[in-house]
Chains A and B, each alone.
Chain A
Amino acid sequence: MAGSPYGPQPDPGPPGMAAKLVGFCEELRGEGVAVGTSELLDAFAALSEVDWTRREDFREALAATIAKSQDDRRVFELLFERYFFRTAEAEAIQRGVTEHAEGGPPAGDGERMDLNELSEAIREAIAAGDEDRMRDLARLAIAAFGRGEGSGVVGVDVQRIRRTLGLTAGSQPPTEDGGERPPIDRDQLTGFERHLRRELERDLIERTETLPPSRPLAELDRALPTSPTQDLAAVHRAVSQMKRRLATLGHEQRGRKKGQLVDVRRTMRASLETGGVPLRLRYRPKRPRRPEIYVLCDVSTSVTSASVFFLSVLHALHDSFRKLRSFVFIERISEVTDVFEGERDFAVIAQRISSEGGVADVSGYTDYGRVWLEFLTEISDDLDPRSTVIVLGDARTNGREPHAEIFAQVSERAGRLFWLNPEPKLYWNYGDSVMAAYERYCDGAFECWTTKHLENFVNVVAGAAPSPE
């Protein structure tokens, strides 16, 4: 099911549940979940043991056999909803099944509910967490005042209906006869909104008889993990993949003749065999670049979410490059190479850096200008054209002097200078970001907020051509 599985002309694929499940796994693979054939077989075996009519059981049985980590599970949840909804709708369009064929209201059967009763019933269903009832009531609400005056934009309609029903998160107003109502928290309300959205979409699909195109999960849904404890595993997996790439990257270059330099001395020497005629050319051996790397990592509050990620990148880099010196900075700079070399456990490293890294964190605001000054005085003698400097930071100076001219000096002495910015390119140079001032002196400035960005960057450092965006 490559590309767009369902165009405007719905194609439900081969009939039967097996095909649907295989299709579902295809989509999961498309999002990067490793679903093997054995997982698929397990899923079928598991499904034959549970009751299909119970949605929860069906989903959990699939999840237990297919999604084998928290990360996979999150993608699974997102896709499960979407895939089976779309599959059912595609089938419905195909067979021309509609719910409102008779023209009358779909639910209610003469039983009339006024606004208050409806909103009351919804509150009860939300409080009880009764998913089926919530779905029924969502349809009722849409039937009552969703159609006709709809704006056509599902998100807007959801909010309009919610407001009409008088549903808000937090503590609830007392009932008419003065009784207390349990408060509704945000998650519960979002749950109901999801039902509303789903039913509105269903309605829309039915009216237009087309499915909206299926998009890959938004990049942002899977952007860098922000919570340091839970998602560390995800970061580590990405970094370990990167490590594998780093280990093998150098080898690809060997044995390629293109772009090689003739070694004149050795060619002349070889020509002695053939009486001084250089029949065989000798080339200079091409050695993979093993750069000396200096990494400067911003650990201030403005990059909190990214710094965990960056620290673990540092961690991985230390494994891969022998000549690596790392520094962390906020207002001032401090070298943490020893911390990384003496300790294997990432959690311990992260803790040691935050507690005893020696980062002079007086105000908690980054002072890039000062950092360059200190960096240059500390290691200017060691910088040579073979060294690579990598800066991990958002270039937000908090209004302080950026000292771009000193940064230029660093750039001049170092062979290569890269900048990884945890902010999307869109936000560069807005507010106190002075990315443009520094970018001029960089050999490359990259946005780096997903593991994909990181991988692209690694390709560049290791000497391969950057993969196209």
Chain B
Amino acid sequence: MIIIACMAEGSVAEVKEALAGVGYLADEPAALVSYLAQKLGKPILVEGPAGVGKTELAKALSRSSGRELVRLQCYEGLDEAKAMYEWNYRKQLLRIQAGGEAGWEDVQEDIFSSDFLLTRPLMQAISSPEPVVLLIDEIDKTDQEFEAMLLELLSDFQITIPELGQISATTMPIVVLTSNDSRELTEALKRRCLYLWLDYPALEREMEIVRLHAPELPETLARRLVEVIGMVRELDLKKPPSIAESIDWARTLLLMGAEDIDRETFAQSMSIIVKHRTDIDLVAERVGLRLAEAPSRS
């Protein structure tokens, strides 16, 4: 085992580098779990507050590995017809009407062939000839029954269609499931996944992220920005600012030509990071007033 471990040395770092190369600065655990997922062929379950880059991780994995991204956005009431596959009823009907001569046996065999199958994201990921990254976004929004349906796919990478039999993946997809932790996922699902908790990044790392996406931003301003964002996140808000919003704010500040975040700039651009009426009041009161007055420009 130790020999294998030595051979694999440095690969975690490589994954990290590859992710950074496509604009995603992963922390140690994220890089390690991504690496393990590829090595072990296990799905990743990513949990964490909204806007910490859970979905972005899947996208970055897709970009860095050159795989296509197949995305399944979950919502309440999502069923297998929309997630896995569906029989193309209209086409089946046409076939039955058109093929008047053929016997019942032939028609029956014919209309339940893969020609009449509409593939949905999960099926698409399984049957793709090229390896893909499958993103199952916000799994916590679905019902428990849907989770149970996923189990076969997640552990064996196969889907059973009663009329056709099992369809197994020819290539191993990287599966990323994200959850906002709005409901407890079942043990069975968790058991099949590697678990990764993403949190808001530490100050230094967020600064790197912001500077990666808004390179023109001077370092002092970037530091000030993430500090203020940190202060805002500490408040009990309805929706704390996400990383994407920090980046947006950085770009806004660049456009405004701001040199420092003073009270005035903050008041003008605050709506970029805070998006609830009550939140805005709270932030203006708690954070805005702590910033320095704008220098008088008379």
Contact of B181 among A34, A63, A67, A233 (CB under 8 A): A233
Residues 281-298 of B contacting A (Cβ, < 8 Å):
none
Determine if B85 is an interface residue (Cβ-Cβ < 8 Å).
no
On chain A, the residues within 8 Å of B33 by CB distance are: 60, 64
Residues 15-33 of B contacting A (Cβ, < 8 Å):
28-29, 32-33
Determine if A433 is an interface residue (Cβ-Cβ < 8 Å).
no
Distance in Å from the Cβ of A457 to the closest Cβ of chain B?
22
**B-side interface residues, number (CB < 8 Å):** 32
Distance in Å from the Cβ of B57 to the closest Cβ of chain A?
14
CA–CA, A67 to B197, complex, Å? 10
Contact of B4 among A38, A49, A63, A236 (CB under 8 A): A49
B2→A52 contact, CB < 8 A: yes
Distance in Å from the Cβ of B119 to the closest Cβ of chain A?
30
B191→A70 contact, CB < 8 A: no
On chain A, the residues within 8 Å of B236 by CB distance are: 229
Contact flag A42-B40 (CB < 8 Å), given A48-B4, A50-B32, A51-B9? yes
Determine if B96 is an interface residue (Cβ-Cβ < 8 Å).
no
Contact of B1 among A48, A64, A229 (CB under 8 A): A48
Residues 14-39 of A contacting B (Cβ, < 8 Å):
34, 36, 38-39
**A-side interface residues, number (CB < 8 Å):** 30
B195→A51 contact, CB < 8 A: no
On chain B, the residues within 8 Å of A233 by CB distance are: 181, 183-184
Chain A residue at minimum C-beta to C-beta distance from B190: A68
Determine if A61 is an interface residue (Cβ-Cβ < 8 Å).
yes
Contact flag A42-B1 (CB < 8 Å), given A49-B36, A60-B33? no
Determine if A270 is an interface residue (Cβ-Cβ < 8 Å).
no
Contact of B32 among A39, A57, A73 (CB under 8 A): A57
Distance in Å from the Cβ of A450 to the closest Cβ of chain B?
19
Chain A residue at minimum C-beta to C-beta distance from B37: A64
CA–CA, A236 to B11, complex, Å? 39
On chain A, the residues within 8 Å of B35 by CB distance are: 49-50
A49→B195 contact, CB < 8 A: no
Determine if A305 is an interface residue (Cβ-Cβ < 8 Å).
no
Determine if A69 is an interface residue (Cβ-Cβ < 8 Å).
yes
On chain B, the residues within 8 Å of A229 by CB distance are: 236
Chain A residue at minimum C-beta to C-beta distance from B202: A129
Determine if B174 is an interface residue (Cβ-Cβ < 8 Å).
no
Chain A residue at minimum C-beta to C-beta distance from B204: A129
Q: Mark A44-88, 1 if CB is under 8 A from B, else 0.
A: 011111111000110011011101111001000000000000000
Contact flag A64-B195 (CB < 8 Å), given A46-B36, A48-B1? yes
Determine if A269 is an interface residue (Cβ-Cβ < 8 Å).
no
Determine if B221 is an interface residue (Cβ-Cβ < 8 Å).
no
Chain B residue at minimum C-beta to C-beta distance from A237: B184
B187→A64 contact, CB < 8 A: no
Determine if B12 is an interface residue (Cβ-Cβ < 8 Å).
yes
Contact flag A57-B12 (CB < 8 Å), given A45-B40, A48-B1, A64-B29? yes
CA–CA, A305 to B191, complex, Å? 32
Distance in Å from the Cβ of B103 to the closest Cβ of chain A?
49
Contact of B195 among A47, A68, A236 (CB under 8 A): A68
CA–CA, A65 to B40, complex, Å? 11
Determine if B42 is an interface residue (Cβ-Cβ < 8 Å).
yes
A240→B184 contact, CB < 8 A: yes
On chain A, the residues within 8 Å of B29 by CB distance are: 60, 63-64
On chain B, the residues within 8 Å of A34 by CB distance are: 187
A60→B4 contact, CB < 8 A: no
CA–CA, A238 to B181, complex, Å? 15
On chain B, the residues within 8 Å of A47 by CB distance are: 1, 5
Determine if B93 is an interface residue (Cβ-Cβ < 8 Å).
no
Distance in Å from the Cβ of A152 to the closest Cβ of chain B?
37
A-B contact pairs, 10 of them (CB 8 A): A36-B191, A45-B40, A46-B40, A48-B1, A49-B5, A49-B11, A50-B32, A50-B36, A68-B195, A70-B197
**What are the 6 tightest A-B residue pairs by CB atom distance, in nearest-first order?**
A68-B190, A49-B39, A64-B194, A68-B195, A60-B29, A60-B32
B contact set with A: CB distance below 8 Å = 1-2, 4-6, 8-9, 11-12, 28-29, 32-33, 35-36, 39-40, 42, 45, 47, 181, 183-184, 187, 190-191, 193-197, 236
